[in-house]
Amino acid sequence: MHRPALRWIVLTLAALAAVPVLLLALYTVVAPVSTLMLARWATGQPVVRIMTPIAAIDPQLIKAVIASEDTGFCRHHGVDWGELKEVIDDADGDAPRRGASTITMQVAKNLLLWPGRSYVRKALEIPLALVIDAVWSKRQILQTYLNIAEWGPAGEFGAEAGAQRAFGKSAANLSRSEAALLAVMLPNPHRRNAARPGPGLRRVAGTVSRRAAALPDLANCIRR
């Protein structure tokens, strides 16, 4: 390969690698937006998001989300390698059958990648999650997640919009059961409705609520 071509490839790769870091720096001073939010704006669909600092979100919801999505959030460095290995071992076909995405990996996906499930996207999530964990605090990571996660079927993003849609109240003032119901919506907010939960959703929410109560140190890493 000619030296100019090699130099061009190296410079291109360096520029691509710098983009996530620059975006993460930008999102420390401006409200972060997900690629799904951008896609909805681009296609004229509504987006409802009320940016809310983590200090204004009920601690019960914070713990319920960690208990539901990533119990090792405060222990790992962006990737749960043990869980990821189980997913790879259980894989079938062109995409993994289940997730194993940590909260940090979901932040990487929501901010920098695309929806869906594939090995390519999962492979990109991993280094991006490691970078995010290295440059952001756990508090910043979780605050971002709680404000960009899709929390409703009609363009509701973030805990505040999700709580107001489901219960007509702020995310700062939730009961334990309401917090658990909101948390278990996250895997599929288009099919799971905290406002009208069926027996199955209530059962899952009960499990999450008990898990959060049994693990008091789940959110220690986000305290000031």
Burial string for 21-40 (b: 16+ CB within 10 Å, else e) reads: eeebeebeeeebbbebbeeb
Euclidean distance between CA atoms 111 and 23, whole angstroms: 9
Nearest to 181 by CA among 157, 154, 152: 152
Q: Model's pTM, two decimal places?
A: 0.86
Mind listing the domains of the chain with CATH numbers? 20-41+53-222 (1.10.3810.10)
Tokens of 151: 């929390």
Q: What are the E-state strand segments in the chain?
A: 48-49, 156-157
Euclidean distance between CA atoms 163 and 173, whole angstroms: 9
**158 close to 149: Cβ distance less than 8 angstroms:** yes
| Residue with tokens 């363009």, as numbered in its chain | 155
pLDDT of the chain, 224 residues: tens digit per residue: 556 655 555 444 445 556 777 888 888 889 999 999 999 999 999 999 999 999 999 999 999 999 999 999 999 999 988 776 665 555 555 444 445 789 999 999 999 887 766 677 788 888 899 999 999 999 999 999 999 999 999 999 999 999 999 999 999 999 999 999 999 999 899 999 999 999 999 999 999 999 999 988 888 998 75
Euclidean distance between CA atoms 70 and 157, whole angstroms: 19
Nearest to 157 by CA among 29, 39, 26: 39
Residue 96, pLDDT score? 42
